[in-house]
Amino acid sequence: MSHAATPFEIYLRRWSLVPDGAPVVTHTSELLPVRRDGEPLMLKVSQAEEERFGGLLMLWWNGDGAVRVVAHDEDALLMERAVGSRSLADMARRGEDDEASAILCAVAARLHAPRSEPPPALQPLDARFRALFAGAGQGGVLAEAAATARALLDSPRDIGVLHGDLHHDNVLDAGRRGFLAIDPKRLLGERGFDFANLFCNPDAAVALAPGRLARQAGIVAAAAGLDRRRLLQWILAYAGLSAAWHVEDGTDPDLALRVAALALAELDR
C-alpha cells in the first residue's frame, strides 16, 4: 500500500512533517511519530468524539502537566513527543512503586491546578458510571462498588477538571520537561477520582501483590492531600466500573474485580 493511502498524508503535507517511526493503531486513533525541523513530535488522527474533546483539554492545559499541542484541527493533534527513557510502569515493576506513585501525584497536581481560562466542555463524572450502575444488579462486589460510587457522587468534594484516565502508561517521560500526561477524558468531578485507576495498574502482578493496595493508598493519599478512606472508596468505585466495562466489552474483568475486593476488604478493616 502506498504511503498516500494512510490517514496521515494530509497532515504530513499541511504541517511539513517527516515520518520518524512505525504507526501505532488503537481502538480510537492512529498515531505516527514524526519530526519537523528535527523536533520529535507525535501525530494523532482520530474520528472518536471523546478523543476530539480530549484534544481540547490538552490545548487548555497548554503544556503544563501534559504534553504540548503544537497544531490541531478537528480530527488531528500534533503534539510534542515524550522521548525520555524512564517508564512509570517499569519503575513499579522493579520495586520503585512508591516513586512512581509520587510522580503520578505530582503530575495530577499540575493538571488539577486552577487556571484563569475556563475549560472546554466537560462531561460530569456521574455520567461515567452508567455501566457500573447498570451492572449493579449482579450483586456481590459490583453492587458494593455501585453503592459506594453513588454515595461519593451524591456528596462530592473538591470538584475540578479531571484527566479521567490517569495511570502509569498515560504519563510519559519528556526528558527535561519531566513527566507529562497524555490521553485525557475531559471529566468534571471530585479530584480523588483521578487517582483510583493507579491501583489497577500497571498490571496484575503489581496491582495484586500482597499489601500493595493498602500501602499505595497511604502513599497516594499523603502525596495528593486526600483522605485515605475516601480514596479507598474511589478505588472500590472505579475498580467496579472497570469490571463493568470489561463485562460490556466481553473481556476479562478478573483484575478489576480483585482490586475492588481488596479495596472493600481494606475499608472493612
Catalytic pick among 75, 165, 173, 203: 165
Question: What is the bridge-based pairing of β-strands 187-190 and 123-124?
Answer: parallel
Q: Dihedral through CA 103, CA 104, CA 105, CA 110, nearest 10?
A: 90
Question: How many Cβ atoms sit within 10 Å of the Cβ of residue 108?
Answer: 23
Cα–Cα distance between 17 and 6 in angstroms, integer? 14
Cα–Cα distance between 209 and 204 in angstroms, integer? 8
Cα–Cα distance between 172 and 83 in angstroms, integer? 8
Closest CA to 264 of 138, 136, 145: 145
Question: How many Cβ atoms sit within 10 Å of the Cβ of residue 166?
Answer: 24
Grid cell of 98 as nine digits: 512508591
Q: Is 75 a catalytic residue?
A: no
Cα–Cα distance between 174 and 195 in angstroms, integer? 21
Residue for grid cell 501534559: 66
Active site amino acids: 165
